[in-house]
Structure 1
Amino acid sequence: MSNRNMILAKLRAVQPAPRPLPDVPLYDEKLPPALETFKKSLALLGGTWVDAPANGDIEAFVRSRFPEAQVFCSAVPEVAGARRVRDVADPHDLYDVDVGIVRPSFAVAETGSIWLSEAEYLVNSLGYLSQHLVALLDPADIVGNLHHAYHRREFFEANYSVLMSGPSATADIEGVLIRGAQGIRSLTVIPVPRVPIVG
């Protein structure tokens, strides 16, 4: 018997009997209102909440927020953009994207985070090569805390996922905060209800 197998055999011999995991509460008894909490948490981490336009023209609204931008790449049906992410074959092709537009599966009020996976990005580099990221979030998709978030089915279905809280940021030892250091320079969240799927 090799040393490795001998060690593993000894560990198996003293392994405790399996027992059920404890029930972990969701800590939702005194949760504050999800929408207001999300807005505050998002702002604290450098993100921006912007109410949707009254006329419902999301594309024109997004373009007006970034007047200098040239390449808008969209992963959502509400915004056509100059480039559809579904047409991108190579993730490197998104190197020149000024504004990426996505729809998070859900958001977490406690942390001001939006949840994105390969299902929402379609091409993961959209969330990191874009200069600015715009998220169309249905307010009904905001959960109160991370305990609720970790119970969502998306965590078990995704191959890749991220909870994004504001733009990329770094700070040196003197406390100088730089936003957009390694990724997106800004994160804008616009409340846009999901369009019901018919059929």
Structure 2
Amino acid sequence: MSSRDDILGAVRSAKPGLDAPAPTVPNYDDNYPQERAGLVDLFAERLTMMGGSWHALGDGQSIEDAVQQALAEKLGKPFADAVIASNVQEVAGNRTLTNSDDPATVHDVDIAVLRARFGVAETGSVAFTEAELTVNAIAYLAQHLVVLIDPAEIVTNLHRAYQRDDFVSANYTVFHTGPSATADIEGVLVRGAQGVRSLTVIPVSANPA
């Protein structure tokens, strides 16, 4: 028997015979807006605070037009020349993603368009599972990330988020809060150093009437 086995055996034998239930954790959202409009406004505020962009559709504006408008000054090239990987039906891309793709093959993607599983108003975060990403690296290697979110799927805080069944039904769930950012000792903020350079969220119902 190894020393490791000896140590673990001693720990197990000394374990108290308690049957203590897990504590009840409050949701901590009594002071958060309970109306849906309030959650959307709070989400947009916190998203912007973390460096992301909230882009509500204008009257009669298509989602593709909204993507172009949101990234017009950020892309640095004509949209006709951009590599766009879209996992949503609302936006046509020119790069198809499949489950068998090597993650490194998405290194040249300019714009990734995904739909978030849900959002968190407290932090302005969007959540993805493997179903939304297809290739898990796409949300990190793309230059710009555009996210469609159903306003009805915005929860108040992370406590509410972890009560969802997404963490049971999916292999993994990841949160994205704003674009990639880092700052050196002098406080110079750099966007996109370790991930996407911009994150734009567009509110679009998953079940349009």
- Map Cα deviations across residues 159-184 of structure 1 (whole Å, 9 max, x no partner): 23321010000011111111111110
SS of residue in 2 equivalent to 1:101: strand
| Matches of 1:158 and 1:74, distance apart in 2 | 21
CA contact (8 A) 1:132 1:185 kept: yes
The alpha-carbon deviation at position 2 of structure 1 amounts to 4.2
Partner residue in 2 for 1:91: 103
| Matches of 1:3 and 1:66, distance apart in 2 | 59
2:46 aligned to which of 31, 41, 47: 41
TM-score (norm 2): 0.87
- Map Cα deviations across residues 52-91 of structure 1 (whole Å, 9 max, x no partner): 2322521233134334241111011111111232487322
The CA RMSD over aligned residues, in Å, is 2.0
| Matches of 1:147 and 1:162, distance apart in 2 | 15
CA contact (8 A) 1:75 1:86 kept: no
1:81 aligned to which of 78, 90, 93: 93
Q: How does 1:1-199 map to 2 (within 5 A)?
A: 1-16=1-16, 17-32=18-33, 33-67=38-72, 68=77, 69=79, 70-86=82-98, 89-195=101-207
CA contact (8 A) 1:38 1:108 kept: yes
State the aligned residue count.
197
SS of residue in 2 equivalent to 1:156: helix
- Map Cα deviations across residues 114-167 of structure 1 (whole Å, 9 max, x no partner): 001211111111101110000001111110011001111111222233210100
SS of residue in 2 equivalent to 1:83: coil
SS of residue in 1 equivalent to 2:64: helix
Per the alignment, do residues 93 and 8 of structure 1 end up closer, same or farther by CA in structure 2, a change over 3 Å counting? Answer: closer
Per the alignment, do residues 172 and 39 of structure 1 end up closer, same or farther by CA in structure 2, a change over 3 Å counting? Answer: same
CA contact (8 A) 1:134 1:188 kept: yes
| Matches of 1:162 and 1:51, distance apart in 2 | 24
| Structure 1 range deviating more: 13-22 or 50-59 | 50-59
| Matches of 2:31 and 2:83, distance apart in 1 | 44
TM-score (norm 1): 0.91
Q: Percent identity?
A: 49
- Which residue identity is paired with 1:19? A
CA contact (8 A) 2:99 2:135 kept: no
CA contact (8 A) 2:52 2:201 kept: yes
| Matches of 2:62 and 2:159, distance apart in 1 | 35
